Copies of this chain bind each other. A is one copy, B any other.
Amino acid sequence: MTDTDAAEDRQTPDRRTQILHATVDLLLENGLAATRTRAVTERSGVGTGLLNHYFRWNDLRAAAWKLIFDEVAKDTFAPGLPPDQVMDRYFAEAFAPEAERFWRLWLEATELAKQDEAIARVLGEAQTRLDSALCDVLTAGQAAGLWTLADRDATATRLGALHDGLAGLLLSGSPRLTRAAAEVHLRHLFALECAG
């Protein structure tokens, strides 16, 4: 991502980078279904030919998704904070409005992963990354005596899966679940895991 900032400073940002970031923006704004190559060319001010010179559409999607997922993984588990504060931040931001766009893209990627191997790889890496980051935080907290967990890996998997499931419920517009309630559910599971 340092490439990005450096490129934006330059007078003539790499056209390839322009295309990539236009794709990221459009994906976050409108989701995959409404993001087509033509929309990317218009947003980035680039001809259709150049876009296809640099990317095949599948690869462009995968590259943009990788940027987005990496960014989230970096933001969610900020380094240097005490583990309990990291978890608190994780719970607080789990269902924040800004996270909604991310989850929509996550579900869309899951959908596409069956057909597109590039996206499957990106999604798999992001999953592993988020899961192991969560594992690390749980381990650090346990080492610091903040909590006691019988099986940190299993707890991380359950937290991640519940997070995912609740986010999916929220996205589907279920009237029986609010953002605040979803956060409570996630915190509740963690409390149960620590107590049990």
Q: Which residues of B contact A163 (CB under 8 A)?
A: 165
Interface residue stretch chosen among A35-43, A63-71, A105-113: A105-113
B171 touches A110 (CB 8 A): yes
Contacts of A128 in B (CB 8 A): 176
A84 at the interface (CB under 8 A from B): no
Which of B115, B172, B188 contacts A33, CB < 8 Å? B115
**Assembly CA distance A126 to B165 (angstroms):** 16
Q: How many copies does the complex hold?
A: 2
Q: What are 19 inter-chain pairs, A to B, with CB distance below 8 A? A: A33-B115, A107-B110, A108-B111, A113-B173, A120-B173, A124-B173, A124-B174, A124-B175, A131-B176, A157-B181, A158-B162, A160-B169, A161-B165, A161-B185, A162-B165, A162-B189, A164-B164, A165-B166, A192-B193
Number of interface residues of A (CB under 8 A): 43
A142 at the interface (CB under 8 A from B): no
Residues of A whose CB lies within 8 Å of any CB of B are: 31, 33, 107-108, 110-111, 113-115, 120, 123-124, 127-128, 131, 154, 157-158, 160-166, 168-169, 171-177, 181, 185, 188-189, 191-193, 195-196
